[in-house]
Structure 1
Amino acid sequence: MDQTTFYKQLLDRYVNNTATAEELEVIDHLIGKGELDELLMGHMAESWAGEEVIFEEERVHVPQKTRGIKLWPRMALTAAAALAVITFGIWLYTSRHPDKGSDLLNYANDIKPGKNQATITFTNGKVVKLSDQKNGVVVGEELKYNDHTPVEATTGEPANDNTAEATISTPRGGTYQVTLADGTKVWLNAASSLTYSPVLNKEGIRRVKLAGEAYFEVAKDKTRPFLVSSRGQEVKVLGTHFNISSYADDDKVKTTLLEGSVLVSRDDRKDEVMLKPDQQAIVAGSKGITVHEVDVNEVVAWKTGDFRFEDQGIKDIMKQIARWYDVEVVYEGDVSDIRLNGSISRNRNISQVLTKIAQTKEVHFKIEGRRIIVKK
């Protein structure tokens, strides 16, 4: 094996988080000696041709008011790549050797991220707590986890209950996947609930009720439309993928379509719109339905384990954080003008998430128990 191939394999293992402790020390040593400069320059020059290089998978920054077109002339690539080498080396070192005086380590308290948590409440009053070691449940005529093991009540007996209606709920800091009787899959975000019928068929209609936020993958059935009722609106589909956010503490109900088509109507039936993929319908109070194009990856990032926001106000960002970490958020002073772009994993402790946001220098945080203080 030649030296260049060996170095490339080392870097690949580092990027993929498969490098051993010994290999990490070798990489540090090689960067210190400058022996990776040429390899990094070639790699970065190729990557920087026409797009921005992101060294960290997570970052938060202040959105630019005016976005210019990025031009990378060929003659500038060498200088850009040289800068990339320096940046990469600094990042590589600091990502593994954090400053002991950093904001992250200055948080006296920390809070772990949410996890799989949910309960099912039946009309007869029985409440079944679902296992946090499972990530999904099938709620047809039989009640079982999506690995086919039975759901048991706290008494150790099967929790099956074929009553007319039931509600599965996630707490703040909880999420759960639900498979309905027709095969439709629903992912519930934190502080959300889905009310359903075990047989899911009333007069030829599949109907559920949602509070909070959920992502739907509706099983196709041309003979039985699927209806989702949420605060102030109804969504009608035959089979498609979409997301609804209808939290009580938000002034808007948002329906976002990923594929297929959905019909969104207000409860009073005064307005209705047919959405196309990558469109979002917003219902706000007594106003009509507005529709605009959105980045669907940002909307459903919660489902894949991320916070993603683009030109979003800090209070809206903190609502998402509060629900996922089950914390109270209070503000000192006016922060309404702070808007940020960013992407951060929801699997990190809250101190790590807040540190990423605080690195913008636009906002600062203090953790007091389960209370987050936000100020400029």
Structure 2
Amino acid sequence: MENKEYLQQLAEKWKQGTISPEEQIEFNQWYDSFDDSMLEDTGARESVTALKERIYTRILETENIDPQDTSLAQEHQTIPLKPSAKPVSFWISVAAAAAIFVAIGTALIFAPPLKNKSNATFTKNIGKDLKPGGLKATLTLADGRTVSLDEIKAGTLPEQSGISIKKSKEGVLVYQVQDRKQSTVHPSGFHTVSTPIGGTYQIELPDGTKVWLNAASSIRFPASFEGLKERKVDLNGEAYFEVAKNKDKPFRVAGQQQEIEVLGTHFNINAYPNEQIIKTTLLEGSVLMRYGKGPAAKLKPGQQGTFNQGKWDIKAVNAEEVIAWQKGNFVFNEQSLSSILRELERWYGVKVDYSQVPDRNFSGVISKDVYLSKVLKMLSLTGNIQLSLEGSSIKISK
């Protein structure tokens, strides 16, 4: 943050709840370097207004800004936004996205992270904490052998019929065709990558298509697409695809009776068995959706398609929010508590008694790279719901 005037503008907007997502990113990035040790959380309940006022006052004190001088903050309507060095997206950095958010009714407000010892205190109160997930997956080869991808070092795996398989330094599983004739696929030449609860993984298929698997998901695909008329994969769970273009060989994704056909595009499919409907969201290009023997439907970028009661429901959505998981964040937009808890189940391996879950919706964003206790505390700050961890189960009380 280069000047105090701009900082006070952002702090004032944040306190008043008028800060934009782009401004929130800059504000949080500055806050990561801010010493907020005097903001230690005692565990006592505090109103939204009181919490935000306390943080705001501390920010002004740290930057030696006179809280009585409101002229700087009042200028925020005429001073243009500070340009970003690189394109700004909705997503907050991992450290900043670990922000505490508090609720008014069912709407959550973003607030900077309280970098103090409160998390340890809260963990002690609820019992053993649960770590967030990470890069974990198992590769099952065509002959049935399995490889634990999170345990092996970066390098080349044993070659499979003209196919080179490598684990990159970044933890990406990369397939490359070395011998096109030898790599021609036979019925048993399929590989499967499976992520456990609390695991994600990225794969680059032999055609160059990039796939990000979410937790508790699996994708089955040919070790090579050579000699095939189409590029077809089977998905269980959720994945984000960036499909390599090949107009002569369409790419298809099958899962839970639904099939998606694309030529080259970016899209996300949520097809978990414990979710009521399958959601297909398009970011770029076009896709054709089919469900069983029912009618087909086409999506445009920024649209999401679901199939319910024999017909397609297509609506406009914020596609970047849908793939927040792929960028390392939880993003909730008027999302039911039950749906949120199912996401926590898949990421932290926790259990939930859904008979006790109230019918409430939440909106907010938080990094997936935080302990479960922090997420539960954020949700509990609504004032009329209490989420705690007992063993490996979430206890809910009002």
- Structure 2 length as normaliser, TM-score? 0.71
Task: Choose the corresponding residue for 2:136, options 113, 117, 125.
Answer: 117
- 1:365 deviation in Å? 1.4
Give the corresponding residue for 1:146: 168
**Map of 2:101 onto structure 1:** 59
- SS for the counterpart of 2:314 is strand
2:21 matched residue in structure 1: none
- 1:199 deviation in Å? 0.7
- Residue of 291, 296, 303 corresponding to 2:319: 296
Query: 2:149 matched to which residue of 1?
Result: 130
Query: Match of 2:338, SS?
Result: helix
Cross-structure match for 2:336: 313
Q: Superposed, which structure 2 residues align to 1:1-376 within 5 Å?
A: 15=30, 17-18=32-33, 31-32=60-61, 35-37=64-66, 41=70, 44-45=73-74, 57-59=99-101, 61=103, 95-97=114-116, 103=122, 106-131=125-150, 141-147=163-169, 164-201=189-226, 203-268=228-293, 270-284=294-308, 287-331=310-354, 333=356, 335=358, 337-376=359-398
Q: 1:40, 1:133 → 2: CA distance?
A: 59
- What do you get for the CA RMSD once the two structures are aligned? 4.2
Gaps of 5+ in 1: 66-90, 152-160
Q: What SS does structure 2 have at the residue aligned with 1:95?
A: coil
Structure 1 residue 206, shift from structure 2 partner: 0.6
Q: Secondary structure at the match of 1:367?
A: strand
Would you identify which runs of 4 or more consecutive aligned residues in structure 1 move more than 6 Å? Answer: 11-14, 27-30, 48-51, 133-140, 148-151
Q: 8 Å contact 1:186–1:215 — kept in the other structure?
A: yes
SS in structure 2 opposite 1:124? coil
| Identical positions, percent | 34
Question: C-alpha distance in 1, partners of 2:127/2:393?
Answer: 12
Quick one: structure 1 residues 59 and 132, their matched pair in 2 at CA, closer, same or farther if it must change by over 3 Å? farther
Counterparts of 2:381 and 2:154 in 1: how far apart (Å)?
33
Q: Deviations over 1:95-153 (max 9, x none)?
A: 245569975652222000001000011232211110258799999911101349998xx
1:202 positional shift: 5.3
What is the CA-CA distance between 1:20 and the residue it aligns to? 7.8
Q: Does structure 1 retain, via aligned residues, the 8 Å contact 2:338–2:357?
A: no
Aligned equivalents of 2:155, 2:276: Cα separation in 1 = 30
Q: Give the SS at the match of 1:37.
A: coil
C-alpha separation in 1, matches of 2:28 and 2:275: 44
How far is 1:34 from its partner? 8.8
User: Cα distance 1:324–1:133, how it changes in 2: closer, same or farther (>3 A)?
Assistant: farther
Aligned partners of 1:314 and 1:338 also within 8 Å = yes
The one-letter code of the counterpart of 1:17 is: D
1:300 aligned partner, one-letter code: I
Tell me the CA shift for residue 62 of structure 1: 5.3
The amino acid across from 1:290 in the alignment is D
Contact 1:118 1:169 in 2 (8 A): yes
Stretch of structure 1 that moved more, 134-143 or 122-131: 134-143
Cα distance change of structure 1 residues 338 and 131 upon mapping to structure 2, 3 Å threshold: same
In structure 1, how many angstroms separate the alpha carbons of the residues matched to 2:264 and 2:28? Answer: 42
1:133–1:114: structure 2 CA closer, same or farther, 3 Å change rule? Answer: farther
Q: CA 1:148/1:310 → structure 2, altered by over 3 Å: closer, same or farther? A: closer
Distance 1:99 1:17 in 2: 17
Deviation string 1:137-183 (CA, Å, 9 cap, x unpaired) is 999911101349998xxxxxxxxx98510110000000000000011
- The alignment partner of 2:206 has SS state of coil
Give 1:220 shift: 0.9
CA, structure 1 residues 201+358, in 2 after alignment: closer, same or farther (shift >3 Å)?
farther
Report the counterpart of residue 88 of structure 1 in structure 2: none
Per-residue Cα deviation, 1:333-357 (whole angstroms, up to 9, x for no partner): 351x211111111000000011011
Distance 1:135 1:278 in 2: 36
CA 1:108–1:124: 2 relative to 1, 3 Å: same
Contact 1:174 1:324 in 2 (8 A): yes
1:42-99 alpha-carbon deviations (Å, 9 max, x no partner): 6654557899xx998552535669xxxxxxxxxxxxxxxxxxxxxxxxx88x924556
Q: Which runs of 5+ in 2 are unaligned?
A: 12-26, 40-55, 82-91, 174-182
d(CA) in 2 for partners of 1:252, 1:188: 18
Specify the SS of the correspondent of 2:374.
helix
Distance 1:105 1:245 in 2: 35
Question: What SS does structure 2 have at the residue aligned with 1:353?
Answer: helix
